[in-house]
């Protein structure tokens, strides 16, 4: 069987692969302390589940318009007006099967061989892989722990060439948790407007912001930014709805229309029942979002306290999302846990899983060698036991 060259060179998602490895060990009856998955451990709030059941009973079990039902598009527009003062029209919104699908649609609709796409690094695993699928070239801009993993406007500007087609910003960021200060975002927006660069602003973690950080949606920052931004987001993280697969893209109608054309050929429509559930999420009571955020904030404090106590580990405090991203390179070249010497973050994660049964994701997957990612979207008991084991592994 011949597999196409683009799929042969496509790497499988490293986070999904790490979770699968942990699961394999679990299936053998081993208790695994699992910190790989980027999904809230909470159940979808009851009123959202009820709306899905009601939708099924009302017969909403058929195909819908390819880009999503009008009521959901309107609910998305109303939510952005309520939360950010942004005025989008339903024709500027496309609902997809999760934000990941929105990103794929956007890249496929706008990029082709010869184009360059600027990606601040560390980046979310799928960014570079999805850019490569279009034949365009990812241009990585390395950020540092010292800068809180935020790309500066100067770095952005010096990466722009006449081939630049798009810049992919993720704020707050997976894997680093970086939440861009408003001033830094304004400076980036200024460059985008002056140099006329289209920006994808992946804001899927916008509701998960912690004390000391602030979130502003990119198109609000500067005149001229609205028509150069495609906002990508969804219900997965804010409403604990990862399995429902509803995400969206919002931006200039011309781009959205092109993405809709692709989606109509590709998947028809996002799940009808999930679309009704998403309406309930966006239009319904928002207290559940804050309750979950508060719980994440408590876990984040605990994680930071434990990270500070780990030997020779450095990190930048995450201002948003639910990840801790820390550097373990000082431990390379010496025996760890069961006496194994590791030389890189991937081997570190393998040894940690095999010896201590703690599952993290290697920074190599995010373009950040020497780092590992821990998701704190898990209960305190698991966090405590996991950190005890990690500490023992590093100290052995
Ligand atoms: C930065 C970022 N963008 C997009 C997504 C995709 O979310 P979904 O496809 O569940 O809407 C994720 C999920 O982990 C993410 O971390």
pLDDT in the model for residue 12: 77
Q: What is the Å distance from ligand 1's center to 126 Cα?
A: 9
**241, burial (CB in 10 Å: exposed 0-12, middle 13-18, buried 19+):** buried
Q: What's the whole-model pTM score?
A: 0.95
Closest among 208, 181, 384 to 296, alpha carbons compared? 208
pLDDT in the model for residue 216: 97
| Cα–Cα distance measured from residue 204 to residue 188, given in angstroms and rounded to the nearest whole number | 19
| Cα–Cα distance measured from residue 201 to residue 30, given in angstroms and rounded to the nearest whole number | 40
CB of residue 170 inside a 6 A radius of ligand 1:
yes
Q: What does the domain layout of the chain look like in residue ranges?
A: 5-43+288-395, 48-285
Cβ-Cβ contacts under 8 Å for 59 (sequence gap 6 or more): none
pLDDT in the model for residue 15: 75
pLDDT in the model for residue 14: 74
pLDDT in the model for residue 258: 97
Chunk the chain into consecutive blocks of 10 residues (it has 396) and report each block's average pLDDT, rounded to whole numbers: 89 78 88 92 97 98 97 98 96 98 97 98 95 96 96 98 98 98 97 98 98 96 95 98 98 97 94 98 97 97 97 96 97 84 92 93 94 96 97 89
Q: pLDDT tens for residues 132-170?
A: 999 999 999 999 999 999 999 999 999 999 999 999 999
| Closest C-alpha residue for ligand 1 atom 16 | 174
Q: What is the Å distance from ligand 1's center to 73 Cα?
A: 19
pLDDT in the model for residue 206: 98
Ligand 1 atom, smallest distance to 101 CA = 9
- DSSP-derived 3-state class of residue 388: helix
Q: pLDDT tens for residues 345-364?
A: 999 999 999 999 999 999 99
Q: What is the Å distance from ligand 1's center to 98 Cα?
A: 7
Query: Which of 174, 230, 325 to mutate for ligand 1's pocket (most ligand atoms within 8 Å of CB)?
Result: 174
Element (H, E) at 95: strand 93-96
| Closest C-alpha residue for ligand 1 atom 14 | 38
Q: What is the Å distance from ligand 1's center to 275 Cα?
A: 17
Ligand 1 atom, smallest distance to 235 CA = 11
Which ranges in the chain belong to alpha helices (H)? 5-8, 14-27, 46-57, 70-84, 99-110, 126-133, 153-159, 182-194, 253-266, 272-283, 287-308, 345-351, 380-395
Which CATH number applies to 48-285: 2.40.170.20, 1.20.120.80, 3.40.640.10, 3.40.50.20?
A: 3.40.640.10
pLDDT in the model for residue 11: 80
| Cα–Cα distance measured from residue 148 to residue 161, given in angstroms and rounded to the nearest whole number | 26
CB of residue 375 inside a 6 A radius of ligand 1:
no
pLDDT in the model for residue 396: 74
Q: What is the Å distance from ligand 1's center to 99 Cα?
A: 6
Q: What is the Å distance from ligand 1's center to 234 Cα?
A: 8
Query: Which of 68, 124, 205 to mutate for ligand 1's pocket (most ligand atoms within 8 Å of CB)?
Result: 124
CB of residue 45 inside a 6 A radius of ligand 1:
no
CB of residue 100 inside a 6 A radius of ligand 1:
yes
- Cα-to-chain-centroid distance, residue 310: 26
Q: What is the Å distance from ligand 1's center to 314 Cα?
A: 26
CB of residue 260 inside a 6 A radius of ligand 1:
no
Which residues on neighbouring strands pair with residue 94, listed in sequence order?
249
Look up the CATH number of domain 5-43+288-395: 3.90.1150.10
Q: What is the Å distance from ligand 1's center to 123 Cα?
A: 12
């Amino acid at each position: 069987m011949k597999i196409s060259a683009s799929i042969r060179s496509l790497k499988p998602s490293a986070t999904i692969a790490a979770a699968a490895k942990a699961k394999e060990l679990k299936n053998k009856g081993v208790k695994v302390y699992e910190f790989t998955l980027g999904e809230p451990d909470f159940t979808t709030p009851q009123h959202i589940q009820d709306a899905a059941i009601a939708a099924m009973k009302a017969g909403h079990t058929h195909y819908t318009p390819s880009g999503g039902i009008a009521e959901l598009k309107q609910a998305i527009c109303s939510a952005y007006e309520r939360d950010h003062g942004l005025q989008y029209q339903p024709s500027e919104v496309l609902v997809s099967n999760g934000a990941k699908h929105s990103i794929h649609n956007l890249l496929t609709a706008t990029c082709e061989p010869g184009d360059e796409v600027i990606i601040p690094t560390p980046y979310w695993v799928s960014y570079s892989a999805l850019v490569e699928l279009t034949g365009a070239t990812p241009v990585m801009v390395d950020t540092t722990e010292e800068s809180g993993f935020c790309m500066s406007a100067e770095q952005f500007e010096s990466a722009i060439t006449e081939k630049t087609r798009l810049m992919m910003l993720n704020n707050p960021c997976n894997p680093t948790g970086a939440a861009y200060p408003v001033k830094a975002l304004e400076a980036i927006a200024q460059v985008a407007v002056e140099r006329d660069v289209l920006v994808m602003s992946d804001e899927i973690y916008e509701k998960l912001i912690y004390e000391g950080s602030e979130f502003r949606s990119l198109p609000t920052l500067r005149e001229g930014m609205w028509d150069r931004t495609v906002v990508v987001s969804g219900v997965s993280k804010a409403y604990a709805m990862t399995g429902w697969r509803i995400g969206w893209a919002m931006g200039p109608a011309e781009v959205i229309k092109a993405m809709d054309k692709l989606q109509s050929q590709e998947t028809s429509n996002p799940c009808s029942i999930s679309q009704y559930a998403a309406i309930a999420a966006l239009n319904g009571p928002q207290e559940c979002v804050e309750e979950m955020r508060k719980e994440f904030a408590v876990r984040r404090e605990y994680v930071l306290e434990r990270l500070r106590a780990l030997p020779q580990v450095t990190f930048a405090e995450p201002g948003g999302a639910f990840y801790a991203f820390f550097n373990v390179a000082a431990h390379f070249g010496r025996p760890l846990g069961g006496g194994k010497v590791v030389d890189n973050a991937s081997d570190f994660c393998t040894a940690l899983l095999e010896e201590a049964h703690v599952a993290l994701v290697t920074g190599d997957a995010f373009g950040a060698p020497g780092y590992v990612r821990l998701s704190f979207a898990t209960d305190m008991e698991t966090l405590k036991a996991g950190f005890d084991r990690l500490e023992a592994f590093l100290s052995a």
